[in-house]
Amino acid sequence: MNDAVKPFAITLDPGSSKLNHTGSWRTERPVYVDKLPPCNNQCPAGENIQGWLFEAESGDYEAAWQILMRDNPMPAVMGRVCYHSCETACNRAKLDEAVSIHAVERFLGDYAIEKGLRPAVSADPSGKRVLVIGAGPSGLSAAYHLTRMGHAVTIREAGPMAGGMMRFGIPKYRLPRAVLDAEIARILDMGVTLELNTKVTDIEAAFAEGFDAIFAAVGAHLAKRIDIPAHAAGRILDAVSLLEQVETGAAPALGRRVIVYGGGNTAMDVARSARRLGAEEAMIVYRRSRKEMPAHEFEAREAEDEGVLIHWLRTIKEIDETRFTVEKMLIDAEGRPQPTGEFETLEADTLILALGQDVDTSFLTRVAGVEIAKDGVVGVDARMMTGRAGLFAGGDMVPAERTVTVGIGHGKKAARHIDAWLRGAAYGASERHPLAEFEGLNTWYYDDAPRSVQAELAMVRRQTSFDEVVEGLTEDTALYEARRCLSCGNCFECDNCFGVCPDNAVIKLGPGNRFRIDYDFCKGCGLCAAECPCGAIQMVPEIG
């Protein structure tokens, strides 16, 4: 334009306000972060729960399952038997109810079995050989992870079948064997060699055979005993042996009335199994109260539902054939049971002891450097290695909570350290992201959605058969449940930041690519961070 013809006060050509970089106003800048969701933080198997739920939310169950399989080779088992402490940690519990993580995991596990999905493996063969002793959850997990890392793995199992406590400790009504068998077979199909009925008694001989490393995970199978004065002993069994006999079809007749002594999950399992084996009365005698029992509340409740009678605060003092004298107990200020001097009698045909298990460490006593503590567990360092270089140990035989999930987690952890050790390196765990706290969420955006409930088998069949008690979710309910996940601390592309920026300074990068801040124009108002539902944006001060 010719300046001469312009009227007064409009001598400049119009321009876009984009010439004005308002980013210079900023004192704080929004930054996208990935925080550690409390479920992931809690998982003993180190699962990326939020990660696989994210994929499941879109209905891509295979992608979800593959993420699951990076950490846990047995999702169908895990979804059934894990005590899911992730759900206790779940932030959604503070909103309405925790996400039913275990039920979605079970759905994904069953889906993979049904579709015959295989884990994605890409590592080249390392040429190293690793021996795993024991085909329980720890051993199978270690074998799986070591195979994924390219090592050749042999499992030697003393028993006639693989599965360990998953088979000989957890009854079928909680874990159908077809599920267990399918997930074990999938691990073996990856090229793991399994030698059954092969008890390893000489560690050094195994090393001499040519194994570069050994992972021992023999579990804890020796039932603890107790001395009870008996005038004429009736039938006394131990819980672990009985559950094993049930599995192999060799369970003895228990009689009409059964007393189980103990208050742990095994006591509940064995009492419930006794009902199924035909015992008309299954009683549990436990010296402390419901509050102190080591069993999970839901296991006690399910046992009671099935007609198991629990005598709290009782110890067995004397046995005379079918007559049991029990003493009433009281819990003192320290939470310990104290005798009261009051007695009762109970009648039963069989007593089953469920007082815990010890580790059979005899195969390690001659190995130089291995430390065995007074309580019978084996000492390991932070790498899960014993005092003997190259000999690692995990699962129930090392000091830890004795659950399948912890065992599976040990297998993974040990595999990582064995892999590093075989390469002459040290495994460096990646830095943990800061925890995604409930307070960091903007819960306004989440819809009310009550947790879905898993159906249970009819009571008559629960009392008479070993059919699975808890049913799985349908696809619709699994999807619904996955979509209840708050995605704590991790962007799920809800477009809120893109929408609420008054300055159009958030750039949407398209599906799967999240967003980017345009710092030329971002004024640092903080609206994107405040309105992010899952707390995945943090405001950090501008320096300088």
Cβ-based burial of 333 (10 A; exposed 0-12, middle 13-18, buried ≥19): exposed
- Minimum distance between the CB of residue 120 and another protein, rounded to whole angstroms? 16
Residue with tokens 């006690």: 300
- Minimum distance between the CB of residue 60 and another protein, rounded to whole angstroms? 6
- Minimum distance between the CB of residue 35 and another protein, rounded to whole angstroms? 17
Residue pair 222/357 in contact (Cβ under 8 Å)? The answer is yes
Cβ-based burial of 359 (10 A; exposed 0-12, middle 13-18, buried ≥19): buried
- Minimum distance between the CB of residue 30 and another protein, rounded to whole angstroms? 10
- Minimum distance between the CB of residue 512 and another protein, rounded to whole angstroms? 8
Residues 298, 83: Cα–Cα separation, whole Å = 10
CB-CB neighbours of 449 under 10 Å: 15
Residue pair 225/237 in contact (Cβ under 8 Å)? The answer is no
Residues 218, 73: Cα–Cα separation, whole Å = 19
Residue among 260 and 486 whose Cβ is closer to another protein: 486
Residues 36, 24: Cα–Cα separation, whole Å = 32
The footprint of another protein (CB under 8 A) covers 9-10, 12-22, 25, 57-62, 444-447, 449, 475-476, 479-480, 483-487, 492-496, 498-500, 502-505, 508, 510-511, 518, 520-521, 523-527, 529-531, 533, 539
**Of the candidates 463, 84, 396, 72, the residue with the CA atom closest to the CA atom of residue 240:** 396
Provide the angle, in degrees to the nearest 10, between the axes of the packed helices 177-188 and 101-115. Answer: 60
Residue among 386 and 496 whose Cβ is closer to another protein: 496
- Minimum distance between the CB of residue 447 and another protein, rounded to whole angstroms? 3
Residue among 352 and 485 whose Cβ is closer to another protein: 485
Cβ-based burial of 480 (10 A; exposed 0-12, middle 13-18, buried ≥19): middle
Q: Alpha-carbon torsion 240, 243, 245, 247, what sign?
A: negative
Residues 535, 50: Cα–Cα separation, whole Å = 14
- Minimum distance between the CB of residue 160 and another protein, rounded to whole angstroms? 40
Residue among 102 and 451 whose Cβ is closer to another protein: 451
Residue pair 25/16 in contact (Cβ under 8 Å)? The answer is no
Residues 47, 122: Cα–Cα separation, whole Å = 20
In degrees and rounded to multiples of 5, residue 359 shows phi and psi of: -90, 135
Residue among 384 and 491 whose Cβ is closer to another protein: 491
Q: What is the biggest distance separating any 2 CA atoms in the chain, rounded to whole angstroms?
A: 124
- Minimum distance between the CB of residue 45 and another protein, rounded to whole angstroms? 24
Residue pair 299/272 in contact (Cβ under 8 Å)? The answer is no
Residues 528, 501: Cα–Cα separation, whole Å = 6
Residues 269, 410: Cα–Cα separation, whole Å = 24
Cα angle at 346 between 344 and 352, to 5 degrees? Answer: 125
Residue-wise DSSP of 510-541: -TTS-EEE-TTT-----HHHHH-TT--EEEEE
Residues 532, 385: Cα–Cα separation, whole Å = 44
- Minimum distance between the CB of residue 56 and another protein, rounded to whole angstroms? 10
- Minimum distance between the CB of residue 54 and another protein, rounded to whole angstroms? 10
Residue among 18 and 94 whose Cβ is closer to another protein: 18
- Minimum distance between the CB of residue 14 and another protein, rounded to whole angstroms? 5
- Minimum distance between the CB of residue 178 and another protein, rounded to whole angstroms? 25
Residue among 115 and 301 whose Cβ is closer to another protein: 115
For 449, the token pair is: 């959605």
- Minimum distance between the CB of residue 533 and another protein, rounded to whole angstroms? 6
For 147, the token pair is: 């195979």
- Minimum distance between the CB of residue 85 and another protein, rounded to whole angstroms? 23
Residue among 243 and 486 whose Cβ is closer to another protein: 486
Residues 144, 140: Cα–Cα separation, whole Å = 6
Residues 500, 106: Cα–Cα separation, whole Å = 38
